[in-house]
Each structure stands twice: as C-alpha cells, then as structure tokens.
Amino acid sequence: MYEQIASNKRKSFLLVFCFIAFIFLLAWLFEQLAGMGTSGLVLALVIASISAFAGYYASDKIVLAISRARPVTKEEFPHLYNVVEGLAIAAGIPAPRCYVIEDTAPNAFATGRNPKNSVICVTTGLLEKMNRVELEGVISHEMSHIKNYDVLVQTLTVVMVGVIALMSDWILRSFLWGGRRRGGRDKGGAGSILIVVGLVLAALSPIISQLIRLAISRKREFLADASGAMITRYPPGLASALRKLDADTEPLEAANKATAHLYIVNPLKDIKGKVNKLFSTHPPIEERIAALEKM
C-alpha cells in the first residue's frame, strides 16, 4: 500500500511538472513568434484562473444539482452513515455530508473543495448491490479523493488546460491577423523552422494538454484506490466492488460527460483500445484490480 501511494504521488507530481513546463515552452514560443510571451502568459493565467476557481467554490452545488442528488438523513440510511462516519475517523477527516441519487445503477462520487466542505454521493443501486465490505471499499476510495484534495488538483489542471488553450489560440490568431513573426523576420531559415514548429505546437497543444490532464486523472484514481485500501486495511473489499461495478451494464441516467470523471468508475460507455484509453478519465478496471491484488 505504501509503495502504491508513494508511486502514484510521484507520477502525479511529475505529470503536473510536465504540464507547467509545457506552458512555459508555449509562452517562450509565443514571445519568439508574436512578442507577447510574458504578458500573454499572465493574461491567460488570470482569465483561466478566474473561471476555474469560480467553479471550484461552487463545484459541489453544481455537480449535485446536475446529478439530481438529494441529502439523506441517518434515519433513512443508517448503514451508509455508519460506514461514512467510521471511515472518516480512520481517515482523520471530518465526516462528509451524505447524498443519494435515485438510480438503480451502482456508482458513487465525492466532491467539495476541502475536507470540511465535502460530500459523498452514492446511488441507491450501489446501496442495494454492495455488501458491507464492498460498500466500505467504495466509500474509502471516495474519501481518499477528499483527503488527497483531488478536487483542487483537478481545478489546477483545468486552469493549466485553459491557459494552454488561450495561448495556442492567440498564437494562431496572431499569424492570421499578421502578427510580428519575429522568428521568421530576424533569424532567416532558422526562424522559418521556428515558425513552423510554433504553429504545429500551437495547433496540437490543446490536445496535448488534455492528454496530460487525463493522465493525471487516471493517476489520481490509482492513488485513491491505494489510499482507500490503506484506510480499510482490506484491499479485496474495493477489488470486489470494482468487479461488481464492471459487471453491471445498467446505464446511470444522471451522469453526463461533464460529471463522468467524478465517479468511481466511468458511468458512460467504456472506451476500448490502447489509443482510446489515452482519452479516458479512468484507468481500466482490470488494471485497478490487479494493483489492489498486489497489496
């Protein structure tokens, strides 16, 4: 468990570092080609940060409203409350508020900007189809997202994706509207190569940034699995829950592309194929189960 947690944290930090390095590379190209490197980077950061952090502080309310989730009382679902309260003590965080989605498809997600303002939401199908040990595995996974501040990590990646998208768009527009093109004017043949490289990178950078963001999301799922197993001290519980979730083919009606990344397993149709997996927010379930079985 300790090795899995440490490994996934290192990989997450490495991906975030690559993300930041990519932004500064794009800023340097922006300066060379359009003459707006530093000012363009600052402006893009401000615009992307304002939009992302506005959503960050209202994310729980937005997601719960979209998912048609409702708060529940301890009297209505005492076993859910008992599991959440017990695991919160084990995790060392305040007990999250409990919400339920009326849907027979089993799934769950966590949201909230910090442990003091957090929510765990499960479907009624999950409560019906999971035994106590499996439910503890699912809740511990979601509680790990809260404890690891994964909503903050996701917000950070959204900001960086927004910065890259804005800067790549500005680079392309500067050429379309007759920008400075310093690279080509001042450096001859080398400048022309720089222009070509800059334009290609500007065109591809939104795709590259999304791939990095999705890779970070997949690593955080592995981290939540390992951290959840640390909380319960019983990896087979979460592994068994993942098998049940994978075997259940019933669609979750409340889910959509905007909220799919939050759930413990992708509620939309699974993406198959090695190339298509790069565009998935979740790692393959068989890989997650294999990692749990090694603990």
- pLDDT greater at residue 230 or residue 279: 230
Note the pLDDT tens digit of each residue in 114-150.
899 899 999 999 999 999 999 999 999 999 999 998 8
Q: Which domain holds residue 106?
A: 2-293
Nearest-angstrom CA–CA distance, 173 and 169: 6
- The pLDDT of residue 70 is 95
For residues 153-181, give the mean pLDDT. Answer: 71
Residues 222-240: what's their mean pLDDT?
Answer: 95
Question: Token pair of 173, please?
Answer: 């527009």
- For the ranges 73-77, 108-112, 143-147, 157-161, the lowest mean pLDDT is seen at 157-161
In this structure, are strands 117-123 and 108-114 parallel, antiparallel, or unpaired? Answer: antiparallel
Asked if 141 and 225 touch (Cβ cutoff 8 Å), the reply is: yes
Tokens of 103: 């849907």
pLDDT at 223 exceeding the cut of 50: yes
Residues with a known catalytic role? 142
Distance, CA of 255 to CA of 268 (rounded, Å): 7
pLDDT band at 75 (very low <50, low <70, confident <90, very high): very high
Distance CA 71, CA 96 (A): 11
Q: Mean pLDDT, the chain, as a whole number?
A: 82
Task: Indicate the pLDDT class of residue 183, thresholds 50, 70 and 90.
Answer: very low
CA angle in degrees (0–180, nearest 5) for 66-69-73: 160
Residue 247 CA to residue 252 CA, distance in Å, equals: 14
Alpha helices (runs of H) in 67-123, residue ranges in sequence order: 78-91
pLDDT for residue 233 is more than 60: yes
Residue 58 reports pLDDT greater than 90: no
Q: How many structural domains are present in the chain?
A: 1
pLDDT of 193 over the 50 cut: yes
Whole-number Å distance between alpha carbons of 197 and 131: 55
